[in-house]
Structure 1
Amino acid sequence: GGERKKLPPVHLWNPEFCGDIDMRIAADGTWFYMGTPIGRPALVQLFSTILRKDPERFVLVTPVERVGVKVDDAPFLGVELQRAQDQRGQVLRLRTNVEDWVEIDADHPLRFAEGASEGLKPYVLVRDKLEALVKRALFYDLVDWGEVRNVDGEDMFGVASAGEFFPMARAAEVEGWAAA
């Protein structure tokens, strides 16, 4: 749900693979070309609309060519969370660094992965296998808005949004998180 830019039909395009280009998306959401940050947000937004995740790599794709790009973590960064209530209960919406808004729901699930040093890292599926890493500051909002529910006979701490429940960790593991 939410506002959606009209996106090119990249899932329909299957041009020849033309090799990798020196483009990288850093974990903090910064896009680099030949080692230099791309300073124009409009250009980054344009590139983001032709980004696709193929089985073997991330690519920028047009009707006539497909080039590989390096993605350090997730291609997008979640930079703002909005919280509302409707008939489904709590509803969370996430804005990405490229100005996409997505409602966290069954089509745009929230998942938590174990980070190397930073503990749990939350990700939201934005579209077509492309995820946003939710900024660390927003992770604490998710914890604040979390609750314990029984999932398959086990008490799990997680976050509800749009009628779905997204488990974060076993409830016993998070005792004391709120106090920290």
Structure 2
Amino acid sequence: MPMPPEPDFAKLTLADILRLGEGARLPPVDRWNPAHCGDSEMRIARDGTWYHQGSPIGRQPMVRLFSTILRREPDGGYVLVTPAEKLDIAVEDAPFVAVEMKAEGEGAAMTLGFRLNTGDLVTAGPEHALRFEERAEGPRPYLHVRGGLEALVSRPVYYQLAEIALSNGSEPPGVWSGGAFFPLEPGTSGEPA
């Protein structure tokens, strides 16, 4: 079955993003429990590029299709799963990358919508939390996508988040989306003071 074409993110409203993200029909990978069949010889690099046997997968529809059967296992590993087989896949950081963002509203009424490198659309909120880790190379922001799968927020999108956080006057600095507050400082949580 061919994948539908990706909508033009620039032309979408946040209501469109929310509707399309919630309406995305994905295979029920959480209900499939086939025997483990080995290694897929696939890897998702830190920049979101998918590789098979060391070569990048250049066909975006193929990447989109594989991303729909990706699952996070209880042990933290990643697998590609179908009703008939389960294959390991190496993930260097996060399996997705948030490459574009739209913001609408202000303060606690703000909503943030994201487009992932796979074409998925996600609206941040209680079900799709933003979190921030401090690493040696600097802050690493992540967006929960589904079932323990996260998207690394790309550097340009992180700068957009930081600009919003610094301009809204919250303490600690953070952003609101879908009625939830997400502090930019690693290790902090809860409502702003």
Give the TM-score of the pair, scaled to structure 2.
0.81
Matches within 5 A, 1:1-180: 1-4=18-21, 5-56=24-75, 57-85=77-105, 89-117=109-137, 119-146=138-165, 147-149=168-170, 155-169=171-185
Normalising by structure 1, we get a TM-score of 0.86
**Count of matched residue pairs:** 164
Contact 2:108 2:176 (8 Å CA) reproduced: no
Change (3 A) 1:136 1:87: closer
If each structure's strand is expressed as a fraction of its own residues, which one has the higher value?
A: 1
The C-alpha deviation readout for 1:64-93, integer Å capped at 9, x for no partner, is 100000000000000000011289611000
Distance in 2 separating the partners of 1:125 and 1:22: 25
For residues 31-68 of structure 1, the C-alpha deviation after alignment (integer angstroms, 9 at most, x for no partner) is 00000000000000000000000023100000010000
Q: Distance in 2 between matches of 1:32 and 1:132?
A: 17
- Tell whether the 8 Å contact from 2:107 to 2:176 is kept in structure 1 after alignment: no
Q: Is the 8 A contact 2:174 2:182 kept in 1?
A: yes
Distance in 1 between residues matched to 2:149 and 2:66, nearest whole Å: 13
CA contact (8 A) 1:2 1:101 kept: no
Q: Percent identity?
A: 46
Aligned partners of 2:176 and 2:182 also within 8 Å: yes
Amino acid at match of 2:70: L
Write the distance in 1 (CA, Å) between the matches of 2:136 and 2:35. 36
Unaligned runs of 5+ residues in structure 2 are 1-17, 187-193
Instruction: Give me the whole-angstrom Cα distance separating, in 1, the residues matched to 2:159 and 2:123.
Output: 18
CA distance in 1, matches of 2:43, 2:178: 33
Tell me which stretches of 4 or more aligned residues in structure 1 moved more than 4 Å.
none
Let me know the Cα RMSD of the aligned residues: 1.6
Change over 3 Å in CA distance of 1:111–1:2 after alignment to 2: farther
SS of alignment partner, residue 105 of structure 1: coil
| Whole-Å separation in 2 of the counterparts to 1:148 and 1:120 | 20
- Distance of 1:76 and 1:126 partners within structure 2: 8
Residues 49 and 98 (structure 1), Cα distance of their counterparts in 2 relative to 1, 3 Å cut: same
Structure with the largest fraction of helix = 2
For 1:130-160, what per-residue CA distance to the aligned partner results, in whole angstroms no more than 9, with x for missing partners? 10000001111001111444xxxxx411111
